[in-house]
Amino acid sequence: MRSLGSMIGLLVFALIGVLTYKFYFSKTDATGAGTPTQQIDSIGVRTDLLGIAKAESTYQVEHNTYTSLDDLVSSGALSMKKTSRDGWVYDVQPSDTTFLVIAHCPTATQPGCTDLEIDQTMEIRPTQ
pTM above 0.85, yes or no: no
For residues 12 and 53, which has the higher predicted lDDT (pLDDT)? 53
pLDDT tens-place string over residues 62-77: 999 999 999 999 888 8
Q: How far is CA 7 from the centre of its chain?
A: 43
> Which phi and psi angles does 97 have, rounded to 5°?
-115, -10
Predicted confidence (pLDDT) at residue 128 exceeds the cutoff of 70: yes
Query: What's the rounded Cα separation, in Å, for the pair 102 and 84?
Result: 11
pLDDT tens-place string over residues 3-12: 777 778 778 7
> Which phi and psi angles does 101 have, rounded to 5°?
-110, 125
The single-letter code of the amino acid at 78 is: L
Query: What's the rounded Cα separation, in Å, for the pair 55 and 110?
Result: 28
